[in-house]
Structure 1
Amino acid sequence: MSDKIFYYFSVLIQGLPVTLSLSLAGIISACLIAVLLAVLLTSNKWFMTKLIKGYIILFTGTPLLVQLFIIYYGPAQFSFISKHLPILWQLLSQPWFCAYLALTLNSAAYTTQIFSGALKAVPQGQWQACVALGMNRMQTLRVILPYALKRALSTYSNEVIFVVKGTALTTTITLMDVMGYNQLLNGRYYEFSIFIATGCIYLLINGLLSIIMRLIEKRALRFENVNN
């Protein structure tokens, strides 16, 4: 039995590079996009605000699996993409890029809500203090944004874990990640222990991520502990 489990793990970890690369790329890209969108939401531009809120509703209101299918299979329905946009067509023909794009857009929508909420939670007195010091909007955001992002780390750490778990769906578009090798083994041996081994791998990844995020949060909010 132990030999089988060891064999299952040796096969499953072959999908780790895909799982980890998708997770890391998706998390970083989504975070950068979310910071930008959260800042834009603080503006008084009606059209921009409505556009961003529409994007958030679209990607938080539909399943990630559906988004994966649309991004991967959708472009094939439009011949003008392959004829007039060859570079985009080549990118959208790659399963890894489609999975990365879907994870990024999905996570960015949720993360934008987190960061936007953190900005709104900053006491008005801090905004007013920056104005009183003669700071313009960009200078004010340089002061307020880092503080807000630090306070959002606790909630954002959950979204980071959701991205990693979301990579398990990418096997539906032919990517051989950890779950992809799980499907391969299950098709051959049909044993319940394969899923246990797969769950242990995801548990280990997310456990390490949780520890890292807690350490980052503790260091980022160290100033509060000093003041107390």
Structure 2
Amino acid sequence: MLRIAPVAAFILMAPLGAQTVVVQPAPGIRATETRTVPIAQGGSLKVSNVNGHIRVTVWERPDVEFTGAFVPGAGKEQVKVVLEPRNGGLEIRGEYPKDSHKGPVCEMDLKVPRSVLPILETVNGLVELKDVAGAAACRTVNGAIRVEHLQGALTAETVNGGITGSDLAGPVTARTVNGAIRLAAQNLKGRLKATTVNGTLRIRSEGARDVSAAKHRFEASFGDSAQVLQIKTVNGDITLD
């Protein structure tokens, strides 16, 4: 039977005093609101939005600072943002009115501890992440994804937008449809699979073995890792430095 040490159980507990916070400005006004809530060491951070970017940077505090720039919709309605602690982690979600001709917007900027495990999802907007140590997932539909200085694994997925990543130390899965992918990875290890339909491949191949290459496809192994690195686009170039 798997046993969890008491200290680990303590780490995953919700911080003392953690409670749900709701942010929603008065109807019809532009407003910027900031809230700070605690998060456990190594806790998960899930952020979901619809209209507006998600930008995440690191600071040296055991808290998450949320700053939302709110723009009302055509009917003066506002996004309601809920910050809800969950099992030592935190969920931040933008709740949008169902009936709106021109929907409201909330641009989300966050400061987080380096150890968080982020899942960042929006529909119409950029996703940007910097300096986090844990594994991360970044998803949008109409927007770009930018990731810098990530120690853990990265999953990055968009439809209409490019993906850029620099100083990436872990395994990478990057997919888009209409956009280019440009990545700079440290000490590349694993089986790389890169494909495009309408684009050019520019792959750094020093140290590669078991290479299989064609005009729009490149596969090769780097190092002795069994992990798979997948990079895929339809209409765009792929560059791996």
Q: Same fold (TM over 0.5)?
A: no
Structure ranking higher on relative contact order (CA contacts 8 Å, 6+ apart): 1
- Comparing both structures, which one devotes a greater share of its residues to strand? 2
- Comparing both structures, which one devotes a greater share of its residues to helix? 1
Tell me which structure has the larger Cα radius of gyration: 1
- Where on the TM-score scale, by shorter chain, does this alignment land: which range? under 0.3
